[in-house]
Structure 1
């Protein structure tokens, strides 16, 4: 089976390849094609994968190309993890937003909208090419903003594109662990949009254990989300929110922390990865060691500003392991081998949430088999969550409309309608600022 990785020169590709190396079952991926626009990055990552595969029998063959059509033609699965504008673009997203006093995070608020506006046209082009060159392929989308980009691609690929994210998986794992349950045996009642969801129950052997967690301040304050949001707020919600909801519930504190930070997250990663790729130009360097040391630093500093503003301290060691690559592998296995499993994924709503239309992409538990991902029926969201989900989905739709039409006015509308952008005037200045720094937004007229 052949897997094409778009963004194949990206830093996290070795995580995906590492998961593939552990898969020894029949029907596994035997060939990996890396695609990237930057040949130097492809060369660096290929070196890491070669060292990673050393001594592993029958390791998947790896090839690399800068030709997108060549990478896609006849493939079985496409893993999309592109970053339009690179990390410099992410840093600019943060900088322009923070200058206006609003959040610039890459998937939430103004930064997420800017990222979406320049990514959607590229993602749509990829979707059209997949439909033409590999019509039987399944696309696994990890490109951010994941829900928005998945919905854009679904308009051309239907249900053959599925979005993944490691945040719900990590959240469920942490809750199960603190309750003394096996995450593999727990049913996680999670619902929302990508980076905008809530765990409302965790069932083990048919019993919901979440009320026990919410009733115990000691347990509730002992893990990442308890430290981040605070025990009182979680008890008030009666649910455990995805960590990205910290940007909504504690927006002023998050913006202030980002403004006071020595570097934004994007700027930090830009500098860190520049050092990594520069080190890879030394033929004598141990590619795997350089990569692994960089990865450890990257994961340890994840959401550092939010944790600092909340007084949450350092991340627990058990949380420094990512997880999206495991979701991707489990998804491919279930489809390719018809191995029925349940995963939290970004898929078309169908009739899962009555407040959204059938084509809206949401993030919910899905049963996966050879026919794809099928969302599981869930209880309605409470009013406060419904309002937020509907507001953000409306913004996503304006982003899609702006990307399709090239309308600058529609782009302004997308920014102005977002709950974390507090003024139409700010929205107009954001569009001006972003179009000045992003060549990829020149299509907005």
Structure 2
């Protein structure tokens, strides 16, 4: 089976390959094709993968190419993990937003909109090429903003594109862990959009254990979300929010912390990864060791400003291991082998959430089999959550409309309608600021 990874020179690709090395079952991936626009990054990642594969019998063969059409032909699965504009673009997204006093995070608020505006045209081109060159392939989207990009691609690939994220998986794992439950045996009632969802229940053997967690301040304050949001706020909500909702519930404090930071997250990662890829220019460097060292630092500093704002301290060691590559492998196995699985995924809504139309991509538990991912029926969201979900989905739709039409006015509307942008004039300045730093947004006129 052939797997093509777009953004194959990306830093997190070895996580995916490491997961593939653990799969010894029939019908597993035998060939991995890495595609990237940067040949130097491809060579660096290929070296890490070669060291990972050393001594592993039957490790998937790895090839690399800068030719997109060549990479796609004959693919059974395509992982899209691109970053349009690179980490330098992410840093620019943060800088322009913070100068206007609004959030620049890559998936939330102004930064997420800017990232979406320059990513959607590229993602749509990829989707059209997949439909033409690999019509039977399943596309698994890692590219952020994951829900928005998945919805853009679904307009060309239908239900054969599925978005994944490790945030809901990590959240469910943490809740199960503090309750003494096996995460693999628990049903997680999670619903929302990507980076905008809530766990409303966690059932073990048919019994909802979340009320027990909410009733115990010691347990509730012992894990990441309890530390981030505070026990009182979680008990008021009666649910456990995705960590990214910290940007909404504590926006003023978070923006201030980001403005005070010595470097933005994007600038930090750009410098960190530049050092890694520079080190890989040395043919004698130990590629896997260098990658492991860089990844550990990356994970330990994840959402550092939010944790500083909340006084949450360092991340727990159990939360430093990632997880999205495991979701991707489980999804791929479920489809390829008809091994039925339940996974939290980004898929088209259908009739799952009455507040949204059928084509809206949402993030919910899905039953997965050879025919793809099927969202499980969900109870309606409470008013405060439904309001946020519908408002942000409306913004995503304006981003898609602006990317399709090239309308600057529509782009302004997308920024102005977002709950974390507090002025139409700020929205106008954001569009102009982003057009100045991103050549890829010259299409907005």
Paired with 2:162 and 2:440, the residues of 1 have a C-alpha distance of: 25
Paired with 1:25 and 1:58, the residues of 2 have a C-alpha distance of: 11
Superposed CA offset, 1:207-226 (max 9, x none): 00000000000000000000
Corresponding position of 2:115: 115
Corresponding position of 2:52: 52
Paired with 1:264 and 1:257, the residues of 2 have a C-alpha distance of: 10
Superposed CA offset, 1:9-31 (max 9, x none): 00000000000000000000000
- What secondary structure does 2:140 align onto? strand
How many equivalent residue pairs? 445
Paired with 1:387 and 1:344, the residues of 2 have a C-alpha distance of: 22
Corresponding position of 2:35: 35
Corresponding position of 2:98: 98
Superposed CA offset, 1:178-222 (max 9, x none): 000000000000000000000000000000000000000000000
Corresponding position of 1:288: 288
Corresponding position of 1:245: 245
Q: When the two structures are superposed, what TM-score results if normalisation uses the length of structure 2? A: 1.00
Paired with 1:435 and 1:73, the residues of 2 have a C-alpha distance of: 34
Matches within 5 A, 1:15-414: 15-414=15-414
Paired with 1:417 and 1:389, the residues of 2 have a C-alpha distance of: 13
Corresponding position of 1:442: 442
Once the 2 structures are TM-superposed, how far is the Cα of residue 280 of structure 1 from its aligned partner? 0.3
Paired with 2:326 and 2:199, the residues of 1 have a C-alpha distance of: 20
Superposed CA offset, 1:151-200 (max 9, x none): 00000000000000000000000000000000000000000000000000
1:419 aligns with 2:436: no
Paired with 2:378 and 2:405, the residues of 1 have a C-alpha distance of: 35
Paired with 2:340 and 2:223, the residues of 1 have a C-alpha distance of: 31
Paired with 2:196 and 2:254, the residues of 1 have a C-alpha distance of: 16
Once the 2 structures are TM-superposed, how far is the Cα of residue 406 of structure 1 from its aligned partner? 0.2
Paired with 2:274 and 2:179, the residues of 1 have a C-alpha distance of: 41
Paired with 2:298 and 2:241, the residues of 1 have a C-alpha distance of: 23
- What secondary structure does 1:64 align onto? strand
Once the 2 structures are TM-superposed, how far is the Cα of residue 74 of structure 1 from its aligned partner? 1.3
Paired with 1:136 and 1:124, the residues of 2 have a C-alpha distance of: 17
Q: When the two structures are superposed, what TM-score results if normalisation uses the length of structure 1? A: 1.00
Once the 2 structures are TM-superposed, how far is the Cα of residue 367 of structure 1 from its aligned partner? 0.1
Paired with 2:74 and 2:348, the residues of 1 have a C-alpha distance of: 25
Superposed CA offset, 1:255-306 (max 9, x none): 0000000100000000000000000001111000000000000000000000
Paired with 1:116 and 1:353, the residues of 2 have a C-alpha distance of: 24
Paired with 2:22 and 2:340, the residues of 1 have a C-alpha distance of: 20
Paired with 1:290 and 1:355, the residues of 2 have a C-alpha distance of: 47
Alpha-carbon RMSD: 0.2
The unaligned stretches of length 5 or more in structure 2 are: none
- What secondary structure does 1:292 align onto? helix
Once the 2 structures are TM-superposed, how far is the Cα of residue 241 of structure 1 from its aligned partner? 0.1
Once the 2 structures are TM-superposed, how far is the Cα of residue 442 of structure 1 from its aligned partner? 0.5
Paired with 2:441 and 2:427, the residues of 1 have a C-alpha distance of: 15
- What secondary structure does 1:219 align onto? helix
Spell out structure 1 runs of 4+ moving beyond 6 A: none
The unaligned stretches of length 5 or more in structure 1 are: none
- What secondary structure does 2:297 align onto? helix
Once the 2 structures are TM-superposed, how far is the Cα of residue 404 of structure 1 from its aligned partner? 0.1
Paired with 1:30 and 1:359, the residues of 2 have a C-alpha distance of: 34
- What secondary structure does 2:380 align onto? coil
Paired with 1:204 and 1:440, the residues of 2 have a C-alpha distance of: 48
